[in-house]
Every structure is written in C-alpha cells, then in structure tokens.
Amino acid sequence: MTTVTRRAAHVARRGLGGLAVLWAAATIAYAALLLAPGDTVDAIIGDGLDTPRIRAEIIAEWGLDRPEIVQYLDYLGRLLHGDLGRSYLLQRGVGEVLASQLPSTAALAVAAALTGVTLALALALVTAGRRTAFRSRLRALTGTAELVAVSVPPFLIGIVLLSVFSFRLGWFPVAGDRGLASLVLPALALGIPVAGVLGQVLREGLERAVEEPFALTARSRGITERALVARHALRHALLPAVTLTGWFTGLLLGGAVIVEAVYGRPGIGQIAVQAVDSRDMPVVMAVILFSAVVYVVVSSLVDLAYLVVDPRLRESR
Amino acid sequence: MSLVTVEDLRVGFPRAGVRAVRGIGLTVGAGECVAIVGESGSGKSVTARSLVGLPGPGAEVTAARFEIGGRDALRFGERDWRRVRGGFAGLVLQDALVSLDPLRRVGDEIAEVLATHDVVPRAGRARRAAELLASVGVPEPETRARQYPHQLSGGLRQRALIASALAADPPLIIADEPTTALDVTVQAQVLALLAARKAEGTALLMISHDLAVVASIADRVLVMKDGVVVEEGPTGRVLAAPGHDYTRTLLAAVPSAASRGTRLSAIAAGGVALRTPLPPREARGTEPILSADRLTASYGSRRLVDEVSLEVRQGETVGIVGESGSGKTTVARLLLGLLEPASGEVRLRGERWSGVPERRRRRSRTAIQLISQNPLDSFDPRYTVGRLVAEPLTALPRHRRRDRVSELLDRVGLDGDVAARHPRALSGGQRQRVAIARALAPRPDILVCDEPVSALDVSIQAQVLDLLAEIQAADGTSLVFISHDLGVVHHVSDRVVVMRGGRVVEEGHVDEVFFMPREDYTRDLLAAVPTLGRTPGRTPG
C-alpha cells in the first residue's frame, strides 16, 4: 500500500468510528429516556390544557401510538437528514434552539480554555527551571494553589468570584451575557480548575524534560535555560498535556452547565437543565449528540496534535 | 599552551552526601588526546561536565586552579560558561538517540549551535548544517538534516551529534563514552573521525570505561577510581606497564583470546595481576543437545533470520556474534521456543521443539533458560529477590523453596539477606547474578545468554563471566552466548557463529574463526575491534 492510500484508509476508519460513536450515543440516550419514568404526552402538554381530546391530538401529531422501535428508527432516519426534531416545551425546531444558544456557550468554553491554558503555561514556565530559593518557594506556593484549584468545584469558585468581584467590588456584572465584561468571571470559574491540572502536568513534564540526556546536550551548546525550555522542553511537556485534552473538554462541557446556572448566562447548559427537568426529549437528545460530536472532533484533533508534536509517531506502523 | 588546566578539582553534591570528584589534576593541550578511564561511579563523567560548567544540579565545585582557555573558570558567571559551551568546548555524549532532542530535526539541532554562537547568519544556517553533516561523513546531508534522530541509524546519529558539537569549531572536544552504544565497525568509524579532528589540531578529552577504545586514540590516560586519579601517564606505558594495582585489575578483566580458560577477576598484588585458571570443564557428549536446522523467520516482508543452522553439545559454549540487526536476538527467541520459525526446525534433547503445541513444550521449558542484557526489565518490580528466584520452583514443596533459594543465591555469590530486597535496590552486577540464580533454579541443560554482560562495567563483567564459567564447569550446562563484543565471545566460546543480515557468514572453532577468518566480513569485524595492544604510536596512518 502506498502512503496516500494508507492515510486515506486511516481517515476512512476514523470517520466510520466517529459515526459509530454518534449512533451509540443516540441509541443509548434514546433507550435511557424511554426507561425514565413519566409520560411523553404529559411532557408535551406541560402546563397547557389537559383534556382527552388534546391528548389524542398530541398522540396523533407526534406519532406516539407507534411501537417504540418504529419511533426510534424514525428518529434515526430524521437524524440522518439533519432533522433534530421539535422541542416539546418551546415548540421550536431543536436545531434552531441549539443554534441560538451555541455562540454563548462556545464563547464561554473558548474563553475558559484560553484562560486555563494561559494560566497553566504561565505558572509552569515561571516555576520550571534551575532551582533557586525564590523558585522553590514560588513552586511550593503554586503547587498549593493548583491543588486548591483542582479540588474546589467550579460552582464554588464561581460563587466566590461573584461575591468578591461583582457584589463587593462591583467590577463585573452579576448575571447575564452582555459583552466581554460578563464573560470574565465565568471564564475564570471554569478555567481555574483546568489551569490547576494542566499546570501540574506541564510542570512535571518540563521538569522531566530538562533532566533528559538531550537537555544536557542542548545546555552544552551554550543556550540559555529559557531557550532550553522554549525550544526543547516545552514540546516534550506538551505530550502528556495533549492527552488530557479529552478530560478537559468534558470538564468544560459539564462545567458550562453549572457556571451558566451560577451566572445566569444563556447557553447549552441552561437549555440542557431545562430540558431534562421537563422531559423535553428531543432537546435532551440533541444536547447529548452535540457532546458526542464535540468529543469525536476533539479526539480526532488530539490524535493529529500528537503527530504534530511527536515525529516518532508519524511513521506508519 | 594548554587549553584546560585543572589542579585539585573537587566536585561534591552536598545534598546527596556524595563527593564525586576528590581532587584531580588535568591538562589538555591543542592536538592532544587525553583519556579518563574508569568504571561507573568513578567520577569521570562529572569531571568532564564540570569542564563546561554543567556538573549537575546541586553540585559544589572547588579547585586550586581551574583555567579554561587561559581564563580563571572559578570566576565564571553563567554568561561566561555559555560562551565556553559549544564555542570553546563541544560535548559529545553517549547514544545520540537520547542525546539529540528526539522531537527536533537533526539540522535544527546543529543550527542551534550556529545561532547561539552566531557562527553564520540565519539564512546560511541550514546550508552550513548540511556542510557539517557532510564533513563528518554523513551521506545525503541535505536529506539527513531534515530527518529526526530516530530515522537515522546509530552510526549516522552519532555523527550528527558530533557535527553539532563541532559546529562552532571549538578548539576542544569532550567526548563522554562517544562509541559505547555502537557496533564495532561503526565505533571504528567514529573513532577515526575523532582522530582526524585531533590530527587537525583539536584537543580531545575522551571519557570511557573501555581501555581498548582509549588505547587506539589517546596520548595520555588518567585512570580514575572513586573520584581520584590512581594512575596517569602516556597510553602505551599505562597499558603495557601499569603502575597501580587497580589498573592491572582493570586490564586483567578485559576478556580476549589470551584470557581463555582463566579467571578474569584477577587479584592484583605485589605489582602483578595473576589470572588464575578456571576449573576444567567436563568431557562433552557428541550428540547435540540443542540443534537448529535451516531456521527462517520474517517480520512482515523483512527476513530477520535466513537459513540459520547450529548445534550445541552438552557442556559446550557456542558464541553468536554480529552487529545490531544481524538477527542474533531473533535466533535466541527461536531457540527458546518463544518464536515459531517460518521454516526449519529446532530440536531440544532429541525431541521436536519447534512446530509443536505449547502444551507439549511446557514440560521441557525448564531445560532451556534465558539470561538477558537488562534483567530488571524481566523482573516483576513488586517481587523481592527471594520471590523472583523461587518463581520457577513450583515443583518443590513450599517449605523447601526457601532453602533452595538461599542455596542458589549462595552459588551466584550473593548474601542470603539479598532475598528480602527488591531488584531495583541492587547494583547492575548483583541484578545479573539474581537473573543467573533464577535461570539456574530449574536446573536447566542450556542457558541462552543474550548480551548478558553488555551493560556492566568491565570488572563486574569479569566476575559475571567467571561465575558463568564456574557454573558450566560444575553442572555441565551448555551455553549459547550472544554478544556484539568479540573479545567476550572469544573468551567464553568453544565454537562461534558469525551472523550478518540474518544469515550465518562463518562458523567454526573460535580460534580458527577469529585467528584465521575465511570471510571478508569476519575480517572487517575483527579489524574494527579496538585492542589493548594497539596504541597510537603503532597504528598505521
């Protein structure tokens, strides 16, 4: 096989794998929601008028009298055409509902990721390197800070930030999504735990890398410690950090739900909570599928990132 | 004028409570090669690194006199040291696979020196890097410069590492075990490359555990032990007429044709090191106890072993020599029944050993045991030594195992209290003894030794080889001895098989093959081996 066909085969395999993950996610979620207590018709009626006639109309309109397997297959078929269905509660297309909430969540996730990565890098770079008395103390301090950041849940960080910077100092708005100022505290609340773990992993990686034999060679060329870290060690430290990206995507998705609630921000998290609460099945399904898509995309990107960082993995085995 | 002058250099690591170098003196002049020889822990590497201001974290360096390039290095700040590193002294370390940054292109590694010392402007660096690669004999330098270390062979990698040390044209090269991980022919090429630099006037400080490597290139030798220089002088004099007992012991420990049948771990006393004879071995059977008939093994489309046949008789040692990739280890795996041959047959004690179900093989597995290069890899890290050695003793009732374990440990020269310790806490030589004890536990007929002493210091290697010889004499065990070291193979083997590219090039009685080789390849291999007898005065060219 030539390299090109091998690569094409690899991409095709990955694509199929991704589709399988999506299908599994959709199916398991569907089954779980079927098994959950409560009646779909009740969910669709919500607080509306509840008469036998309306119930019958709803059953007819949504096709709820069909066997479950048929409903499931019908759902899959519509999914294939990109139709996510209609929200029971909002009486709007689920796609539309998601699309309206996505930018806010994406902004939060990206801002939080950037905050986390920047903080982690800054801490790791400042504390890694030749041991001096000052660095040792700084390292002990950041070590403690990281431990706190990792062990305190995002909602608590969010509440503390709110009470200090919004209520006491009044620097940032308390709630809502109005411009950059309202993004700062939520991004910090979500980014700090990320920075905690990532910072630890990066620093450990840097410390290991500067002890490796190649680091001695690099030093023997007369380069500065800073150049050693920037040109050599950082790349080695990135490898374990890249592995964490999957975990950290999960943290951002899960954390977004809570942080959006704490800060009263619109977003996928808010929608998901509402939908689960009111058994709005199409929306719940869509949120689950959305997470699955994000995971598939992220894990593919992670695999690519490995190849970029480590040339030893590029050789096709 | 000497480039480096050091008097009473002391390097300590107070936090670890280690005094690595305890007062040594050293001078290196232009066009001169000075070698520091010693075993692990002698302080030779720390000395070398101290000369470029990189003794290691937490080190304290003091000296009565410490001059680098005529300047007082005791007053050097970090900036001065950085100018010395790469600019005044190029450092070449062992094993370029880990000594070059595995994530960066070879050309970038060389260009880093060019940039740091401002040798050539940015635009010219890639071209200069390729030129440097060409100058150390790397073919297709432009292509190689764009490759990563793992894409190059061991020899090319080491050349690339040397090219990066030479990039700023330093007057001094410090080479710390520059050929240790290399095959003999590649080692010879790398040594020739260093010798050529020396001939052009570059000073060379060479650190090695291998007296023979040093013999071919060094003008002066310093023998180090426990942080002090026990002996120094012109290479020819030190090797031919050593003045210190430690040097004598070291020299006596080097296995060669001349050392056959004698103990390598000689006790030097009263000015001479006497090798005592080993116990004679039992008469051998005529029937082969292990035989391989036209074995073939492939990996994908690559043929690893091609039509290899060999026979091992009782009490006999068959050596297998060859360079890396020659198929030695694959043959070992075929003989051990760990790998099924694609064609051909292995017979053990007259019975079929290959091509039979594992169920039938299991019964005879105890008859053939492996001793590998790095025993730590084959030990369960959670097991104590006692448990490791007891592991094969399943046939024995539980209460008798403990006795057998201490008996085995005693045989390999280990104290009984080692049984309670973990292999990690042992030295390399002790670990190899544990591996031998474990291999002996099921009373095997055959020991397959795959580079058993390659990771050990020469004096420890001597002890392990002596131990194997004693066991063989007492038990009549057969040995298959695989090594890249021709001296070791000549010392231990009765017959030898020379392999190349998966094929047997030549085989026969070890003296015949090594003294009167029929094949060119064997001749090349033997010619590449550095020997103690060859000093710079006597090398042609």
DSSP string, B254-309: S--GGGTTB-SS-EEETTEEEPPBPPPPPPPPSSEEEEEEEEEEEETTEEEEEEEE
Tell if the pTM clears 0.95, that is, is over it.
no
**Residue among A166, A157, A169 at smallest CA distance from A119:** A157
Determine contact, residues B188/B175, Cβ cutoff 8 Å: no
pLDDT (tens digit per residue) in B514-541: 999 999 999 999 988 887 764 443 333 3
* B98 neighbourhood in chain A, CB within 8 Å: 212-214
Mean of pLDDT values over B442-469: 90
The pLDDT confidence band at residue B397, using thresholds 50, 70 and 90, is confident
Report which of B30, B37, B43 is spatially closest to residue B4, judged by C-alpha positions: B30
Contacts of A227 in chain B (CB under 8 A): 116
pLDDT greater than 60 at residue B85: yes
Question: Which residue in chain A has the smallest CA separation from B170?
Answer: A221
How far, CA to CA in Å, does B180 sit from each of A151, B190, B211, B430? 48, 11, 12, 22
- Please list every residue in chain B whose beta carbon sits closer than 8 Å to the beta carbon of residue A315: 150
ipTM of this predicted complex? 0.81
Tell me how close the Cα of B386 comes to any Cα of chain A, in angstroms.
33
Q: Mean pLDDT lowest for which of A185-199, A252-266, B456-470?
A: A252-266
* pLDDT beyond 80 at B282: no
On the question of pLDDT at A58 being above 60, the answer is yes
- Quote the minimal CA–CA distance from A208 to chain B in Å: 13
Question: Are the beta carbons of B100 and A222 separated by less than 8 Å?
Answer: no
**Residue A316 pLDDT > 60:** no
Residue/partner pairs of B240-243 with CB below 8 Å, 24 or more apart: none
pLDDT for B60 equals 92
Report chain A residues whose CB lies below 8 A from the CB of B54. Answer: 216, 219-220
**CA separation for the pair B417, B419 (Å, rounded):** 5
**Of B95-99, B312-316, B382-386, B491-495, minimum mean pLDDT range:** B95-99
- Match 């231990």 to its residue by tokens: B492
In the predicted model, what is the mean pLDDT of chain B? 89
- Give B168 to chain A, closest Cα distance, Å: 9
* Gap between the Cα atoms of A270 and A104, Å rounded: 11
Rounded CA-CA distance A67/A41 in Å is: 15
Query: Which range, A54-58, B229-233, B473-477, is most confident?
Result: B229-233
Q: Does A308 touch chain B (CB under 8 A)?
A: no
Distance CA B47, CA B26 (A): 10
pLDDT in the model for residue B80 = 94
The residue among A154, A100, A113 whose CA lies nearest residue A263 is A154
pLDDT band at A250 (very low <50, low <70, confident <90, very high): confident
Tell me the HSE value of B521 on the side-chain side, using a 13 A CA sphere: 14
Residue A67 has pLDDT above 90, yes or no: no
Contact B103 A309 (CB under 8 A): yes
Using a CB cutoff of 8 Å and minimum separation of 24, what contacts does B452-457 make?
B452/B371, B452/B372, B452/B373, B452/B481, B452/B483, B453/B483, B453/B485, B453/B488, B454/B373, B454/B483, B454/B484, B454/B485, B455/B373, B455/B374, B455/B428, B456/B428, B456/B429, B456/B432, B457/B39, B457/B40, B457/B209, B457/B428, B457/B429
- Letter string b/e over residues B41-58, b meaning 16 or more CB atoms within 10 A of that residue's CB: bbbbbbbbbbbbbbbbee
Q: Which of residues 157-186 of A touch B (CB under 8 A)?
A: none
Please give the domain boundaries of chain A with CATH numbers for all domains: 97-268 (1.10.3720.10)
Nearest CB neighbour to B101, from listed A218, A222, A224:
A218
Residues of B in contact with A212 (CB under 8 A): 98
Q: Contact at 8 Å (CB) between B292 and B355?
A: no
B296 closest CA partner among B280, B309, B314: B309
Across the interface, which of A220, A222, A227 has its CB nearest the CB of B117? Answer: A222
Burial of residue A240 (number of CB atoms within 10 Å: 0-12, 13-18, 19+)? middle
The Cα B377–Cα B294 span in angstroms is 31
Determine, for residues A312 and B148 on separate chains, whether the beta-carbon distance falls below 8 Å: yes
Q: Which residues of A touch B68 (CB under 8 A)?
A: none
Judged by CB atoms within 8 Å, which residues 205-234 of A form the interface with B?
212-214, 216-224, 227, 231-232
d(CA B511, CA B493): 9
Give the Cα separation of B178 and B91 in Å (integer): 10
Rounded to whole angstroms, how far apart are CA atoms A183 and A175?
Answer: 10
The residues facing B402 across adjacent strands are none
- The answer to whether B306 and B427 have CB atoms below 8 angstroms apart is no
Record: contact B86-A221, CB cut-off 8 A: yes
What's the pLDDT at B49? 93
Q: Which residues of B touch A130 (CB under 8 A)?
A: 57
Report chain A residues whose CB lies below 8 A from the CB of B87: 222
pLDDT digits (tens, 9 = 90+) for A90-134: 778 888 888 888 888 888 888 999 999 999 888 888 877 666 677
Give yes or no for A236 touching B (CB within 8 A).
Answer: yes
Cβ contact, residue pair A231, B90, below 8 Å: no
Q: Which residues have CB under 8 Å from B92's CB, separation 6+?
A: B158, B161, B162, B165, B173, B174, B175, B176, B178
A235 inside 8 A of chain B by CB: yes
Would you call B452 an interface residue with chain A, using a CB distance cutoff of 8 Å?
no
Distance from the Cα of B208 to chain A's closest Cα (Å) equals: 17
Indicate if the pLDDT at residue B39 is higher than 80.
Answer: yes
Distance separating alpha carbons of residues B209 and B186, to the nearest angstrom: 18
